[in-house]
Amino acid sequence: MAVSEVESILNKLTKLEEEIERINSLAEDMKKRLSIFAEQEIERLREELTSKARKEAEDIISKARKEAEAEANRITIEAERNIMIIEANIKRSFNEAVEKALRMIIASR
């Protein structure tokens, strides 16, 4: 083998080593970019999930509030109806009591 052939092989090996180093460097750079992308994507998904969970919670609370308000209104209406019945009973009982008292007074004279 001639010296020029050896030099040619060495040059080719040097170029090959340089290309391998360049590829390794690119691979490391891609790993870093992929890692950054993954972290960004995880954060984006976390925020999206948090937003959806917050919206779902707000919907549940809103629905529960509406149901509670409807139940409170129903209870209020029922209570007002019961108060009216009680007031009517009081008036009727009062009138009956006055009449009985008057009869007793008149009967005792």
- How confident is the model at residue 27, as a pLDDT? 98
- How confident is the model at residue 96, as a pLDDT? 85
Amino acid residing at 87: E
DSSP alpha helices (H): ranges in the chain?
3-108
- How confident is the model at residue 25, as a pLDDT? 97
- How confident is the model at residue 1, as a pLDDT? 65
pLDDT in tens, the chain (109 residues): 677 988 999 999 999 999 999 999 999 999 999 999 999 999 999 999 999 999 999 999 999 999 999 999 999 999 999 999 999 989 888 888 888 888 888 887 7
Which pTM value belongs to this model? 0.56
